[in-house]
């Protein structure tokens, strides 16, 4: 029995059109026009207890909207959501006791008072038994290194510290599920690592189910076993991370800056993608071609001044997946 | 009961947040004195020339003002921030309320505390004290009790009005400007001018539609002995608690409806 | 000049983005004008002999005083802007730009002001004329002088707001001082009560302050209280204050500039 069940969920919004210019300004004033936006389109998936699932997609793909519906803040326009046997938006209070939510952009803590005060208040709001509270507090402080700043007002914390505090706050009441909406945007590397280690730990030790949205591929690789890719409101891919890696993220891009401008040339195991001035870009399959040998071959022919190897952007991966899916589904659906 | 306990804890945190800004409070006091002082000064100048305004003398008007101020200061202290519901929604603070296992309304009213309300209260009490002394006004026990009740009701009536109009933010995304407009009949009008001064339409409006006349005017009229049991409209003097109750109920309905609307169309 | 106009246009367009506020402001204006109407009507009934002017003139003064306040409040944006910039530290940007802040803000505020006049001032005036018996000036001369006076009044209002905004550079919580300023303005400008009703002591203070240039002076011209000579000298007074305050603004900005670059805001 899946813990989280999302069935054909669609979410549509109405947005006012803003028009330009003087005349547009006046018509804004008297005759507003609206456009319909479909943020989430017929999305379906099921998550089992104990999974860590990554929910990835470019900006504006519908990730935040999905999380809001899952946490009970928004009601779907159509479709059904059932989590822990409850309907999030209907049985809100009961539901809220069993989930934890962390929004990356905003804190759930009280801004001007020390972190510990927020924790105490949350303990009261969620009715956490004292012993359990103390136990969690100690454990989290340890794992996340909160001790250094637990008495500091949230206002004065760095972004990384604030996110760690937010995570701890979200778990004080031992929820069964944790929703994270872009938690590590703009966060320093050390805090990111702490966060990931912490998430892994509570997932293993306490079987907390985690759904994490991000548009950072790295994050997914380090934490998740399963990935949902969303773009333009639709689920493009739902499956194993390994599969994505082997099937779609095998391409790498080698950018080389030569010491002098040279004519274009072809290479074994790599495809020339772009050429500009002294720079050339080559695409290659990282499982089939070894980078050192590639560079050595190039350097033998023409002296290399500088080079970089980059992974494809998530947009490229998605594009590949999209093309693949479209081809697979055939002309009838596309 | 439990909800009340949580409310006090929320407010406690809000207060703690505020006391970080002590200088702010002091300067706030200056602002309050300046604003209200100017209002009273203007009245003073007018009445200096005209002796009375629609049958109300200077100190009677100060009394009227004082009652309004004290009631309003209580509202200002605890509930003023509801005016900015639109900001809470835009900034995502409101979503935070929805994720917790607690009534969002409770969280909203416990979210902030406006310490300037205290300065307002002091000023209002001073107005009351001075005017009562100058008028030689002696109230019996019932009158004292009613006056205290009225001060509380005043805060609740203003809360009702604000909540009612703030809830429109769920539909339109804005609330602050609307509330300020609605309150224009309050500030600088019924706040300091007796209703006798205005036309019948206005009197009807502030009695039946935006019932701010119950904040200070009707009770003050009775407390000052300006109306006797035989006069028409005598009963209006005692309706403040009822008005508060009705208004809050109506506001709560709008709020509930707005909340449902928000969760289905919020962005 | 072109730069000036492009800023003006920008702010005008920005202001037009807020639809709901348009109707709300009109409602706002109507309510306050109504209040003024009833106040002075009632008072005129009581003791008409105290007034040296006719009922229509008094009502016009009372209502317009309210209306002008609401449309001058557009110049409050200047105050808010400066205070906001200081609070967020963005004032640094203003330091870096090769632009005189006074000029810059005057240009932008003019846009807001024009917008305000069109969407608040005019409708408010029309509403007052339709529902509350508001009359235009009795002759063309008064009307033209009034418009000129209005322009000068705006300059005075703008410069005063600028100076109050500058206080934010030196004091952290300038918000409340800003409110205190606004309260004083409402009193000494003759908005709440016409200056000629003031007791001698207060009247003397009022005549020394620039605030009356914003409301009392233009309205005196409007209702025809001043002869041509008197009107001209009143305009002169406004111009004098406007010039003096503009100089003060420049000076203050210069010194604030220095302080900000040395202390880092």
User: Is the residue at A320 inside a domain?
Assistant: no
Asked if residue A327 is part of any domain, the answer here is no
Examine the pLDDT at B114 and tell me if it is beyond 90: no
| Tally of CB atoms within 10 A around A251 | 16
Q: Which chains touch C (3 or more CB pairs under 8 A)?
A: A, B
- CA separation for the pair A53, A42 (Å, rounded): 19
* pLDDT above 60: residue A327: no
Residue A201 lies in a domain: yes
Does residue A201 share a domain with residue A266?
no
Q: Which residue of C has its CA nearest to B182?
A: C28
SS (H, E, C) C196-245: HHCCHHHHHHHHHCHHHHCCHHHHHHHCCCCCHHHHHHHHHHHHHHHHHH
CB A226 within 8 A of CB A51: yes
Give the count of alpha carbons within 13 A of C212, CB side only.
22
Mutation pick from A22, A29, A30, A32 vs chain C, by most beta carbons of C within 10 Å, is A29
Per DSSP, the residues of B67-102 read HHHHHHHHHHHHHGGGGGHHHHHHHTHHHHHHHSSS
Burial bucket for residue B48 (CB in 10 Å: 0-12, 13-18, 19+): middle
| CA count, 13 A, side-chain hemisphere, C52 | 9
- Residue B11 pLDDT more than 80? yes
**Residue percentage of chain A with pLDDT more than 70:** 87
- The helix-helix angle for C101-116 and C228-263 (nearest 10°) equals 130
**Same-domain status, A117 and A135:** yes
Boundary-marking domain end, from A246, A275, A296: A246
- A to C CB pairs, distance under 8 Å: 16
pLDDT above 60 for A334 = no
Q: How many residues does chain B have?
A: 267
Q: Do A121 and B10 touch (CB under 8 A)?
A: yes
| Facing residue for A110 by CB, picked from B17, B92, B103 | B17
Which residues in chain C touch residue B42, judged by CB atoms under 8 angstroms apart? 187, 192-193
Rounded to the nearest 10 degrees, how much is the dihedral formed by the CA atoms of C122, C127, C130, C131? -160
Q: What are phi and psi of C208, to 5 degrees?
A: -85, -20
| Half-sphere exposure for C203 (CA within 13 Å, toward CB) | 8
**What's the Cα-to-Cα distance from B175 to each of B90, B170, B180, B247, rounded to whole Å?**
11, 9, 9, 18
Inter-chain touch B177–C198, beta carbons under 8 Å: no
Q: What residue numbers bound the domain in which A61 lies?
A: 4-246
Model pTM greater than 0.80?
Answer: no
Binary contact (C38, B45; C-beta < 8 A): no
Q: Residue C260 region, left (φ>0) first, then alpha (ψ -120 to 50), else beta?
A: alpha
Cβ atoms within 10 Å, residue C50: 11
Three-class SS state of A186: coil
pLDDT at C216 over 80: yes
CATH number at residue A259: 3.30.70
Establish if A290 belongs to a structural domain: yes
pLDDT at C193: 87
E strand map for chain A: 4-16, 34-47, 52-56, 78-83, 99-103, 177-181, 209-214, 226-231, 234-240, 251-258, 271-276, 279-285, 304-310
Nearest to B50 among C43, C180, C192 (CB): C43
Q: CB distance from B172 to chain A under 8 Å?
A: no
Note which residues in 47-76 of chain A have CB less than 8 A from chain B.
Answer: 68, 71-75
**Residue in A21, A22, A28 closest to C17 by CB:** A28
Contact between A172 and A137 (Cβ < 8 Å)? yes
What pairing do the DSSP bridges indicate for beta strands A4-16 and A34-47? antiparallel
d(CA A240, CA A54): 10
Asked if B16 lies within 8 A of A113 by C-beta distance, the reply is: yes
Q: Does the distance separating the beta carbons of B184 and C193 come in below 8 Å?
A: no
Q: Are residues A180 and A270 part of one domain? A: no
Q: Identify the pLDDT of residue C263.
A: 54
Best of B99, B113, B170 to substitute, by most chain A Cβ atoms within 10 angstroms, is: B99
Residues B228-244 have pLDDT tens digits of 888 888 888 889 999 99
Chain A nearest CA to B205, separation (Å): 28
CB contact under 8 Å between A25 and C13, yes or no, is yes
Mutate to test the interface with C, among A17, A20, A27, A28 (most CBs of C within 10 A): A28
Contacts of B172 in chain C (CB under 8 A): 20
Of the listed ranges B14-28, B233-247, C104-118, the one predicted with least confidence: B14-28
Residues A47 and A76 in one domain: yes
Residue A258 sits at φ, ψ, to 5 deg, of: -85, 165
C-alpha–C-alpha distance, residues C111 and C63, integer Å: 24
Alpha-carbon Rg for chain A, nearest whole angstrom, is 24
Which span out of B46-50, B215-219, C178-182 was modeled with the highest average pLDDT? B215-219
Among A224, A246, A268, the domain boundary falls at A246
Contact A106 B16 (CB under 8 A): no
Does residue B107 surpass a pLDDT of 70?
Answer: yes
User: Nearest-CA neighbor of C125 among C53, C63, C75?
Assistant: C63
Q: Is there a single domain that holds both residue A117 and residue A166?
A: yes
Which residue in C27, C35, C198 is closest to B181 by CB distance? Answer: C27
Is pLDDT of C15 > 60?
A: yes
Q: Burial-class residue B144 by CB neighbours within 10 Å (0-12, 13-18, 19+).
A: exposed
Residue of A nearest to C14 (CA): A25
DSSP state of A283: E
**Contact at CB, B13 and A110, closer than 8 angstroms:** yes
pLDDT band at C38 (very low <50, low <70, confident <90, very high): confident
Of the CA atoms within 13 Å of residue C265, those in its CB half-sphere come to: 15
CB distance from A170 to chain B under 8 Å?
Answer: no
Segments of A109-233 assigned E as strands: 177-181, 209-214, 226-231
Chain A positions touching B265 (Cβ under 8 A) are 13-14
Q: Where are the domains of chain B?
A: 2-265
- Chosen domain end from A195, A211, A246: A246
B71 confidence band (pLDDT: 50, 70, 90): very high
Under DSSP, the state recorded for B189 is: I
B132 Cβ partners below 8 Å, 6+ apart?
B63, B139
Instruction: Show residues of chain B in contact with A108, CB under 8 Å.
Output: 96, 99
Residue A204 placed within a domain: yes
Tell me the two tokens of residue A281: 């870009």
pLDDT band of A111, cuts 50, 70, 90: confident
Q: Pick the range with the lowest mean pLDDT from A78-82, A290-294, C156-160.
A: A290-294
Contacts of B46 in chain C (CB under 8 A): 43, 193, 197
Q: Contact A219/A181 with Cβ under 8 angstroms?
A: no
| Minimal C-alpha gap between A144 and chain B (Å) | 23
Cβ within 8 Å, pair A73-B91: no
Tell which residue, C170, C124, C176, C154, has the closest CA to residue C242: C154
Look at residue C265 in the predicted model and tell me its pLDDT: 41
Are A160 and A292 within one domain? no
CB A86 within 8 A of CB A72: no
Residue B212 or residue C51, greater confidence: B212
Q: What is the pLDDT of residues B171-205, one digit of tens each?
A: 887 888 888 888 888 887 888 888 888 888 888 88
Residue A169's pLDDT is 93
Per the CB < 8 A criterion, the answer to whether A305 and A257 are in contact is: yes
Q: Contacts of residue B39 in chain C, CB cutoff 8 Å?
A: 192
Nearest to A236 by CA among A166, A163, A326: A326
Token readout for C226 is 């001043």
Determine the residue of chain B that is closest to A68 in CA distance. Answer: B95
Contact A85, A15 (CB under 8 A): no
One-character DSSP codes across B154-172: HHHHHHHHHHHHHTTHHHH
Residue A279: strand pairing partners: A257, A276
| B105 within 8 A of B248, measured Cβ to Cβ | no
pLDDT at A168 over 90: yes
Q: Where is average pLDDT lowest: A83-87, A96-100, B215-219, C3-7?
A: C3-7
| Candidate from A21, A22, A28 with C-beta closest to C19 | A28
Mutation target for B interface from C31, C124, C178, C201: give the one with most B CBs within 10 A: C31
Taking an 8 Å Cβ-Cβ cutoff, which residues of chain C contact chain A? Answer: 12-13, 16-17, 19, 22
Residues found in chain C:
265
For residue A102, the SS3 value is strand
Domain count across chain A = 2
- Do B38 and C186 contact (CB within 8 A), yes or no? yes
Q: At what angle do helices A21-30 and C19-46 cross, to 10 degrees?
A: 70
Range C59-81 average pLDDT: 81
B197 CB within 8 Å of a chain C CB: yes
In chain C, where the domains are located: 2-263
Percent of chain C having pLDDT more than 70? 87
Which range among B121-135, B246-260, C246-260 shows the weakest confidence by mean pLDDT? C246-260
Whether residue A27 has pLDDT greater than 70: no
Evaluate if residue A224 carries a pLDDT over 60.
yes
- Tokens 């949902």 correspond to A228
Q: Determine the pLDDT at residue C116.
A: 83
pLDDT higher for C100 or A44?
A: A44
CA neighbor of B131 nearest in space, from B250, B13, B44, B228 = B44
> What integer pLDDT is reported at residue C78 of this predicted model?
79
**Position A321 in a domain:** no
What is the ipTM for the molecules in this complex?
A: 0.77
A132 and A48 part of one domain: yes
Whole-angstrom distance, CA of residue A315 vs CA of residue A229? 11
pLDDT of residue C98: 60
Mean pLDDT to the nearest integer, A187-201:
89
Chain B contact for C180 (CB, 8 A cutoff)? yes
Q: Kindly state the DSSP code that residue B206 receives in the 8-state scheme.
A: I
Dist. CA A276–CA C62, nearest whole Å: 73
Contact flag C179-B35 (C-beta cutoff 8 Å):
yes
Residues in B touching A97 (Cβ below 8 Å): 101
Tell me whether residues A29 and C16 touch, CB distance under 8 A: yes
Question: Å from A182 to nearest chain C CA?
Answer: 26
Q: Which residue of B has its CA nearest to A97?
A: B101
Phi-psi region at C164: left, alpha or beta (left = phi > 0; alpha = psi -120 to 50):
alpha
Whether A254 and A179 map to the same domain: the answer is no
């Amino acid at each position: 029995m899946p813990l989280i069940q999302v069935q054909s969920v669609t979410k549509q919004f109405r947005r006012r059109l803003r028009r330009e210019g003087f005349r547009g300004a006046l018509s804004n004033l008297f005759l507003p026009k609206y456009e319909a936006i479909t943020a989430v389109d017929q999305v379906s998936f099921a998550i089992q207890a104990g999974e860590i699932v990554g929910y990835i997609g470019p900006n504006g793909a519908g990730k935040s909207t999905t999380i809001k519906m899952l946490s009970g803040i928004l009601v779907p326009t159509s479709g059904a959501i059932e989590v822990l046997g409850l309907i999030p938006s209907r049985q809100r209070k009961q539901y809220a006791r069993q989930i934890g939510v962390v929004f990356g952009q905003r804190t759930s803590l009280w801004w001007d008072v020390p972190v510990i005060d927020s924790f105490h208040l949350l303990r009261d709001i969620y009715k956490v038994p004292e012993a359990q509270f103390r136990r969690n507090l100690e454990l989290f402080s340890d794992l996340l290194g909160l001790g250094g700043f637990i008495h500091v007002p949230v206002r004065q914390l760095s972004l990384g510290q604030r996110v760690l505090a937010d995570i701890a706050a979200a778990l004080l009441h031992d929820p069964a599920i944790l929703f994270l909406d872009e938690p590590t945007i703009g966060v320093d590397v050390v805090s990111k690592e702490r966060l990931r280690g912490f998430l892994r730990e509570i997932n293993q030790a306490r079987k907390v189910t985690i759904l994490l949205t991000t548009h950072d591929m790295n994050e997914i690789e380090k934490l998740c076993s399963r990935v949902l890719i969303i773009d333009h409101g639709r689920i493009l891919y739902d499956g194993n991370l390994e599969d994505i890696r082997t099937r779609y993220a095998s391409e790498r891009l080698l950018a080389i800056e030569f010491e002098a401008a040279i004519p274009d040339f072809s290479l074994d195991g790599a495809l020339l993608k772009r050429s500009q001035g002294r720079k050339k870009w080559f695409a290659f399959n990282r499982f089939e071609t070894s980078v050192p040998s590639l560079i050595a071959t190039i350097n033998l022919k023409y002296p290399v001044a500088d080079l970089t190897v980059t992974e494809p952007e998530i947009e490229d991966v998605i594009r590949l997946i999209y093309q693949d899916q479209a081809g697979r589904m055939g002309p009838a659906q596309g | 009961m439990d909800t009340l306990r949580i409310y006090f804890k929320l407010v406690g945190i809000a207060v703690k947040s505020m006391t970080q800004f002590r200088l702010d409070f002091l300067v706030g006091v200056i602002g309050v004195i300046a604003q209200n002082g100017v209002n009273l000064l203007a009245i003073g100048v007018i009445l200096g020339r005209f002796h009375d305004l629609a049958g109300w003398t200077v100190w009677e008007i100060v009394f009227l003002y004082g009652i309004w101020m004290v009631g309003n200061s209580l509202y200002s202290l605890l509930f003023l921030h509801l005016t900015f519901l639109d900001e809470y929604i835009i900034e995502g603070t409101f979503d935070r309320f929805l994720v917790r296992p607690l009534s969002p309304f409770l969280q909203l009213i416990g979210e902030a505390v406006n310490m300037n309300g205290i300065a307002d209260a002091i000023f209002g009490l001073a107005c009351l004290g001075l005017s009562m002394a100058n008028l030689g006004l002696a109230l019996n026990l019932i009158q004292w009790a009613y006056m205290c009740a009225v001060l509380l009701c005043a805060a609740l009536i203003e809360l009702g009005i604000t909540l009612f109009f703030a809830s429109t933010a769920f539909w339109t995304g804005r609330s602050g400007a609307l509330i300020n407009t609605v309150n224009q009949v309050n500030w600088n009008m019924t706040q300091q001018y007796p209703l006798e001064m205005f036309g019948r339409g206005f009197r009807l409006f502030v009695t039946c539609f935006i019932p701010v006349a119950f904040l200070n005017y009707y009770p003050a009229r009775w407390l000052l002995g300006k109306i006797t049991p035989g006069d028409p409209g005598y009963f209006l003097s005692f309706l403040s608690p009822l008005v508060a109750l009705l208004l809050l109920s109506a506001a709560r309905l709008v709020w509930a409806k707005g909340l449902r609307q928000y969760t289905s169309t919020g962005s | 000049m072109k730069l000036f106009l492009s800023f003006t246009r920008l702010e005008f367009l920005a202001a037009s983005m807020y639809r709901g506020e348009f109707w709300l402001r009109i409602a706002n204006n109507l309510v306050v004008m109504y209040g003024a109407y009833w106040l002075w009507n009632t008072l005129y009934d009581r003791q008409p002999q105290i007034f040296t002017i006719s009922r229509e003139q008094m009502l016009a003064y009372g209502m317009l005083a309210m209306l002008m306040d609401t449309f001058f409040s557009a110049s409050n944006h200047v105050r808010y802007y400066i205070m906001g910039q200081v609070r967020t530290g963005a004032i640094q940007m203003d330091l870096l730009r090769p632009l005189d802040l006074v000029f810059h803000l005057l240009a932008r505020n003019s846009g807001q002001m024009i917008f305000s006049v069109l969407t608040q001032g005019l409708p408010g005036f029309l509403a007052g004329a339709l529902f509350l018996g508001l009359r235009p000036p009795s002759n063309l001369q008064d009307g033209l002088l009034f418009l000129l006076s209005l322009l000068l009044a705006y300059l005075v209002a703008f410069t005063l707001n600028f100076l109050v905004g500058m206080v934010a550079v030196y004091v952290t919580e300038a918000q409340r001082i800003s409110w205190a300023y606004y309260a004083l303005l409402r009193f000494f400008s003759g908005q709440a009560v016409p200056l000629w009703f003031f007791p001698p002591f207060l009247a003397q203070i009022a005549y020394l302050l620039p605030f009356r240039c914003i409301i009392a002076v233009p309205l005196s011209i409007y209702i025809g209280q001043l002869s041509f000579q008197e009107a001209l000298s009143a305009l002169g007074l406004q111009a004098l204050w406007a010039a003096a305050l503009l100089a003060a603004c420049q000076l203050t900005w210069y010194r604030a500039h220095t302080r900000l670059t040395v202390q880092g805001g």
